[in-house]
Chains A and B, each alone.
Chain A
Amino acid sequence: MKKNVAQEEAFDTSEKLKRFFKRWTGPALVAIVLLGLWETLSRYYDAYLILPPPSSVAEYLWYAIADGTLPGAVLVTLKRLFVGYLIGIALGIPLGMLCAKLKVFRDTLGLLAMGLQALPSVCWVPLAMLWFGQTEKAMLFVVVMGTVWSLIIATQHGVNSIPPIYVRAAETMGSKGMHTWIHVILPAAFPNILGGMKQGWAFAWRSLMAAEIYVVILTGFGLGQLLHYGRELMEMSQVIGVMCVVIAIGLLADKLLFSPWENFLRKKWGITND
């Protein structure tokens, strides 16, 4: 018996490995060829200043990780992003609920949200500098402004478009007030709210990068600043290295933050949010 299970497991892993290789051999080959071409051309034309070869980008990444500047910058940036994003969600969902429920809010805050959502939140930086100085607060403010309007609009829209029959059914079972909001309206609006969370995340992430490149923050040295100093020092391997890290964080966030929820939607609703 035991042997059988072990054999099956071994079979399973080898099958998985096979599938993995089948899926990724092609893309990996293409990547190797492109990187090789880039490396060769960059060296051949001696273009270290304008487009350094992958090997020197890798070298930069290696030393920047070893001496701690890169992990430090990643931490500073991620902290701003997460804290601001969470504040944005914590404000956006209840305010969106109010907009959905009360005309007063819909006609004031709802319209304001429509307008401000169209404004890239990096445009807030000059005012944020004036109000909060060159501090973390200013960066948080930019991230919150990137997140909150998307969430207000998505929540309002989500709540207003749930089938009324859900609430009626819940009422007949004795649900009312806050119970209905927490156990019926919010879960029913969740597919829309998740869409708003994704959009808010994208806005916040882009605006934070722009803000970090654009102004110097004295209280912490983020990824944007690292990229900015790469430019100041004409160190393009640093610029490209940081760009790679920014891409990696973006992809990873999507995978870690949103994939589980999207799988939940697919499993429960049978729908996708793409």
Chain B
Amino acid sequence: MSVHKELENVAPSKLSVRGVNKVFHGAQGKTVALEDINLKVDEGEFVCLVGPSGCGKSTLLNLIAGLDKPTSGKILMDDKPITGPGRDRMVMFQEHALFPWLDVMGNVLFGLKLKPNLTNPERREVAKFYIHLVGLEKFMHASIHELSGGMRQRVALARALAPNPRILLMDETFGALDALTREQLYGELQDIWQKRRKTIVFVTHNIREAVCLGDRVILFSPHPGRIAREFKIDSLKRPRDINDPDLTNYASTITAALKQHIGGSVAE
């Protein structure tokens, strides 16, 4: 396979979550993390899952990633059931999960080295492409601990994009960053998403963040985790700015809905 072909963006996939339940058996007995989840995500769509902690949004992300299996129901990717982790779905975690024993290049290469049909020089070229894409070409050989939090998440983004996945799963990826760095990364992520169109499922508890990034915001309510409502964010133009008043208005509507649902579930 030539590098050019490898560097072409693959078509994004659609996702279909059908009647998924997830039950954990722990020390306190049975916990229903997800109850009857039905969700469709279109090719190339940016979907944000929002809700308070314990609403199962991260659990759903792990199920889509194939790191865990649903208790019942199924998840289809392009109409084929997901059976385990795969290079077509890359995950970005809250703690960047970069490997400290490798430098920036080594981290981005990690997934590529597991990809067959490429020579090592080709893999390096692909890695360089993505390191450029996230703007870290000057830090190609830096150690991870030398980088700032924002730079680490950019390396994590490059590492996730490098194997050319069809779906990108982001689990509170920006949660541990300071507000300024986060705002900068919202811009960069939207920009990169325009260039490398992927289907993105983004988990967050920050509603403004969800409205800023998502085509659609899915609101989860806790105990058990269910989909409460969904909002289509079609009136805001891209690229969106987190400080845009329209966006803030939109976010307050969703926050109100969220409060209503949490109140409801507590009263039950």
B232 at the interface (CB under 8 A from A): no
Would you call the interface of chain A mostly helix, strand, loop, or mixed?
helix
- From A171, which residue of chain B is reached at the shortest CB distance? B85
Number of interface residues of A (CB under 8 A): 21
**B67 and A172 within 8 A (CB):** yes
Interchain pairs with CB closer than 8 A, number = 62
B145 at the interface (CB under 8 A from A): yes
B115 at the interface (CB under 8 A from A): yes
Measured in the bound complex, the distance between the Cα atoms of B176 and A165 in whole Å is 15
Task: Please name all residues of chain A whose beta carbon is closer than 8 Å to the beta carbon of B89 when the two chains form the complex.
Answer: 172
Q: Choose from A163, A172, A175, A268 the contact partner of B101 (Cβ within 8 Å).
A: A268
**A190 and B86 within 8 A (CB):** no
- From A173, which residue of chain B is reached at the shortest CB distance? B111
- From B146, which residue of chain A is reached at the shortest CB distance? A270
Measured in the bound complex, the distance between the Cα atoms of B100 and A175 in whole Å is 17
Q: B130-156 toward A: CB 8 Å interface, digit per residue (1/0)?
A: 000000000000011110000000000
A168 at the interface (CB under 8 A from B): yes
Task: Please name all residues of chain A whose beta carbon is closer than 8 Å to the beta carbon of B100 when the two chains form the complex.
Answer: 268-270
Q: How far is the CB of B103 from chain A (nearest CB, A)?
A: 8
Q: Knowing A184-B99, A268-B100, A268-B101 touch, does A169 contact B143 (C-beta < 8 A)?
A: no
A115 at the interface (CB under 8 A from B): no
**B86 and A268 within 8 A (CB):** no
- Measured CB to CB, the residues of A under 8 A from B are 163, 165-166, 168-175, 179, 183-184, 187-188, 190, 267-270
20 inter-chain pairs at a CB distance below 8 angstroms, sorted by A residue, are A165-B93, A166-B99, A168-B91, A168-B93, A169-B93, A169-B97, A171-B85, A172-B67, A172-B90, A172-B91, A173-B87, A173-B90, A173-B114, A174-B86, A183-B110, A188-B99, A267-B143, A268-B101, A269-B101, A270-B146
